[in-house]
């Protein structure tokens, strides 16, 4: 447990965040094709090597999350991904859920699966160098949703995953994501996020998960994508921190997902969070808000690797700068 606490603290170290590059094969293939790149294992590997080898990445990124395909691959020089990124000063992580699947009994809702054989997979991932893991539960806001059953089922799975990770000496990133889909107001997102978090806390406690050895990866509290009026970063920060205040001080830290927000908005919201004094650091574990500009700039052209890396480096630096704002406000 000691090493989990140490690694969790490293992941949320002042001025650093986590790069989520763990798209499943299906998601990554779709994104490559949309960018005009053939969806092959080699192109997924090339893209992840581009991201992971971005010059200066470790200045703003403490860790990178991969999917198991990538963790089984190698850099072009033959170095396995986990070893290569460790050598670059970044901790490798692994997404271990197998996705949000339709939940029997709850039409239209999902439960995230992946508990079968999890201890053996975690032992394998630890053996090849993974320092941390990630599991994402997904909640949709709609009439009567998320249901109590979907919240409970997903919270229980998150807790079982987290307990298994800590037993394997791997830090669990616990990701309950309330999606932006819909036209709901920011207040509804706040209420749903608070209810989901309460269930997650309860299940984590029932399984004895050490909060000082996990990183929470929540959504920011924002209005639905189809809501007519976007709320300001100050309002997002206020609403988000209000929900997070229910987490005990021993929680290692909070690393937000970006959830499909435009990259600049995610960064502005993250910066606004830093103006609130909290017992845990508030940082980023963005996927799309970090990598979309890089994929667009590169779009599979070997001559544009540096352009892709520059685009990623710019987003990582902007978010690291946002997080460093906290250090100036609240010296540690």
Catalytic annotation, residues: 175, 217
Q: What H or E segment, with its residue span, contains residue 253?
A: strand 253-256
- Please identify, using beta-carbon distances, which residue of 7 and 137 lies nearer to ligand 5MM: 137
Say which residues have a Cβ less than 8 Å from residue 81's Cβ, sequence separation at least 6. Answer: 48, 49, 52, 66, 70, 71, 73, 74, 75, 92
CB atoms within 10 A of CB 102: 11
Grouping H, G, I as helix, E, B as strand and the rest as coil, residue 28 is: helix
**The pair of three-digit structure tokens given for residue 216, joined into one six-digit string:** 């929470």
Using the rule CB under 6 A, is 263 a contact of ligand 5MM? Answer: no
Q: Strands 253-256 and 17-20: what pairing?
A: unpaired
Spatial strand order of the sheet with 282-284 comes to: 17-20, 61-66, 91-95, 132-139, 171-178, 215-216, 253-256, 282-284
Q: Nearest distance from residue 80's CB to ligand 5MM, in Å? A: 21
Using the rule CB under 6 A, is 135 a contact of ligand 5MM? Answer: no
Using the rule CB under 6 A, is 286 a contact of ligand 5MM? Answer: yes
Q: Nearest distance from residue 301's CB to ligand 5MM, in Å? A: 22
Q: By CB under 6 A, name the one of 176, 253, 287, 293 that touches ligand 5MM.
A: 287
Burial class (CB in 10 A: 0-12, 13-18, 19+), 225: middle
- Please identify, using beta-carbon distances, which residue of 99 and 330 lies nearer to ligand 5MM: 99
Q: Which of residues 162-191 bind ligand 5MM (CB under 6 A)?
A: 177
Using the rule CB under 6 A, is 46 a contact of ligand 5MM? Answer: no
Q: Nearest distance from residue 208's CB to ligand 5MM, in Å? A: 25
Identify the CA nearest to 263 among candidates 301, 303, 316.
316
Using the rule CB under 6 A, is 257 a contact of ligand 5MM? Answer: yes
Tokens 């574990």 locate to 285
Grouping H, G, I as helix, E, B as strand and the rest as coil, residue 237 is: helix
Candidate segments 8-16, 37-45, 224-232, 284-292, binder of ligand 5MM by CB under 6 A: 284-292
Grouping H, G, I as helix, E, B as strand and the rest as coil, residue 104 is: coil
Task: Give the binding-site size for ligand 5MM (rule: CB under 6 A).
Answer: 15
What is the Cα–Cα distance from 289 to 282, expressed in whole angstroms? Answer: 16
CB 66, CB 48: distance < 8 Å: yes
Q: Nearest distance from residue 330's CB to ligand 5MM, in Å? A: 25
Angle separating helix axes 288-298 and 305-329, nearest 10 degrees: 160
Candidate segments 18-26, 50-58, 189-197, 244-252, binder of ligand 5MM by CB under 6 A: 18-26
Using the rule CB under 6 A, is 31 a contact of ligand 5MM? Answer: no
- Please identify, using beta-carbon distances, which residue of 3 and 27 lies nearer to ligand 5MM: 27
Using the rule CB under 6 A, is 289 a contact of ligand 5MM? Answer: yes
Using the rule CB under 6 A, is 20 a contact of ligand 5MM? Answer: yes
What is the Cα–Cα distance from 117 to 305, expressed in whole angstroms? Answer: 38
- Please identify, using beta-carbon distances, which residue of 22 and 210 lies nearer to ligand 5MM: 22
What is the Cα–Cα distance from 223 to 225, expressed in whole angstroms? Answer: 7
**The pair of three-digit structure tokens given for residue 21, joined into one six-digit string:** 């590059």
- Please identify, using beta-carbon distances, which residue of 6 and 224 lies nearer to ligand 5MM: 224
Candidate segments 21-29, 41-49, 71-79, 146-154, binder of ligand 5MM by CB under 6 A: 21-29
Using the rule CB under 6 A, is 22 a contact of ligand 5MM? Answer: yes
Residues binding ligand 5MM (CB under 6 A): 20, 22-24, 27, 99, 136, 177, 257-259, 286-289
């Amino acid at each position: 447990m000691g090493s989990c606490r140490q690694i969790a603290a490293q992941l949320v170290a002042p001025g650093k965040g986590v790069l989520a590059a763990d798209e499943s094969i299906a998601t990554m293939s779709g994104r490559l094709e949309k960018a005009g790149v053939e969806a092959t294992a080699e192109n997924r590997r090339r893209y992840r090597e581009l991201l992971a080898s971005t010059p200066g990445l470790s200045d703003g990124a403490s860790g990178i999350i991969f999917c198991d395909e990538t963790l089984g691959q190698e850099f072009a020089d033959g170095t396995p991904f986990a070893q290569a990124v460790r050598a670059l000063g970044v901790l490798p992580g692994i997404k271990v859920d197998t996705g949000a699947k339709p939940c029997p009994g709850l039409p239209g809702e999902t439960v995230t699966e992946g508990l079968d054989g999890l201890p053996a997979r975690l032992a394998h991932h630890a053996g090849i160098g993974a320092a941390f893991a990630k599991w994402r539960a997904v909640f949709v806001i709609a009439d009567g949703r998320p249901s109590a059953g979907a919240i409970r089922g997903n919270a229980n799975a998150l807790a079982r995953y987290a307990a298994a990770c800590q037993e394997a000496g791997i830090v669990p990133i616990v990701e309950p994501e309330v999606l932006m889909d819909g036209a709901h107001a920011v207040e509804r997102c706040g209420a749903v996020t608070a209810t989901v978090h309460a269930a997650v806390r309860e299940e984590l406690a029932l399984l004895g998960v050490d909060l000082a050895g996990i990183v929470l990866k929540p959504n920011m509290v924002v209005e639905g994508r189809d809501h007519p009026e976007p709320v300001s970063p100050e309002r997002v920060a206020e609403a988000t921190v209000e929900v997070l205040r229910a987490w005990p001080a021993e929680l290692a830290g909070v690393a937000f997902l970006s959830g499909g927000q435009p990259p600049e908005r995610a960064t502005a919201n993250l910066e606004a969070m830093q103006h609130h004094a909290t017992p845990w650091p508030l940082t980023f574990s963005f996927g799309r808000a970090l990598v979309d500009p890089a994929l667009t700039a590169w779009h599979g052209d070997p001559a544009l690797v540096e352009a892709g890396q520059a685009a990623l480096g710019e987003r990582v630096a902007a978010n690291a700068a946002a997080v460093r704002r906290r250090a100036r406000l609240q010296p540690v």
